[in-house]
Structure 1
Amino acid sequence: MTPLELLGHAQHLLDESSGATVGNSARLAAMMGRQALEQYVRARCAELNVDYDGRSMRTRLLILRSLDDVDNADRLASLWSQLSACCHQHAYELSPTVTEVRALCEGVIDSIAPRVTLSTPSPKTPA
C-alpha cells in the first residue's frame, strides 16, 4: 500500500468511524498517517541512495534534511513528532481529536503528494 493510499484510508476512518473504531478512530488514523509518512521517508532515502537500515526515524529525517529539501524535511519531522504523540495514550492526556488528526494527515498529504506518484498497475494486454 502506498503512502497516499494509507492516508486515504486514514481520512476514510476519520469520516466514517463506526463499530469497533468508535472512540479510537483519531488514534488509529494517526497511526496510519505516521506509517504513511515513515514509508515515504524510507522510499525517499532509498531514492537518495542512503543506507537507512538500522537508523531511527529521527536520523532518517535528519538525513533528508541534509540531502533533500530542508523545509519539507522540517515539516515532515514536525508532523512525525505530532503524529507520534497522538499514537501514544497517557492517562493524564486527552485523546487527540478527529479535527487535530485530520489536520496532521492533510499536512502529510500536502508534504508528500507533490513528490509521490500514485502508481496504478497498467491493465494487462493479451499477448
Structure 2
Amino acid sequence: MRSVEATAALGYADALLSGRVIPESGNAARLAAFVARQAVEWLVDARCAELGAACPDAKMASKLAVLKSLDETDFGPTIAYAWNRLSECCHQHAYELSPTVVEVSALCVSVAECA
C-alpha cells in the first residue's frame, strides 16, 4: 500500500531527524513528528479506501476505529499506535520534555514498515 505522498513525507522527516535539513526555527524532532503524522494520515486514507470504507470527511479517530474493525492485518493497531504517539510528540506541554530524535525516528520506522 505504498503512498507516494507518505513516502515523500517520511523521507523529509528522516532528513529533518538526520540533520540533512535544518529547520529555520523550532525543534527538528517535533517538526519531523508533524510530517510523519501527515504520512500516517495519508496511509490511513489509502487503506480505508482499499477496504471499501473510504471516509474522507471523518475524524482520524473514526478512521482508525474503522481500520481496527475491518482490517484483518496488524496495520490498524500498529498505525493507530504510531498516530497517537506522533500526536503526543506534536503537542508540547510545559510539564513535558520535547520528543527526542531517537523517539521520533523509531515511530517513523514503524510507519515506514506499514507503508
TM-score by length of 2: 0.88
1:111 to 79, 96, 114: 114
Aligned to 1:13: 16
Aligned match of 1:49: 52
Deviations 1:53-76 (A, max 9, x none): 331111101111121134221011
Sequence identity percentage? 48
Which residue in 2 is equivalent to 1:91? 94
AA of the residue aligned to 1:103: A
Instruction: Look up the SS of the partner of 2:52 in the other structure.
Output: coil
Q: Can you give the 5+ residue segments of structure 2 that lack an aligned partner in the other structure?
A: none
Structure 1 residue runs of 5 or longer lacking an equivalent are 113-127
* CA contact 2:45–2:54 (8 Å) conserved in 1: no
> Which of 43, 47, 59 is matched with 2:62 structurally?
59
How far residue 2 of structure 1 moved from its aligned partner, in angstroms, is: 1.3
- Equivalent-residue separation in structure 2 for 1:66 and 1:19 (angstroms): 39
- In structure 2, the partner of 1:28 is 31
**How many positions carry a matched residue from both structures?**
111
CA contact (8 A) 1:10 1:33 kept: yes
Query: 2:72 & 2:43 partners in 1: Cα distance?
Result: 14
Partner of 1:121: none
Q: Which moved more, 1:25-34 or 1:38-47?
A: 38-47
1:4 aligns with 2:7: yes
The list of structure 1 runs, each at least 4 consecutive aligned residues, that deviate by more than 6 angstroms after superposition, is none
Report the 3-state secondary structure (helix = DSSP H, G, I; strand = E; otherwise coil) of the residue aligned with 2:24.
helix
Query: TM-score normalised to the size of structure 1?
Result: 0.80
Report the 3-state secondary structure (helix = DSSP H, G, I; strand = E; otherwise coil) of the residue aligned with 1:62. helix
Question: Which amino acid counterpart does residue 38 of structure 1 have in structure 2?
Answer: E
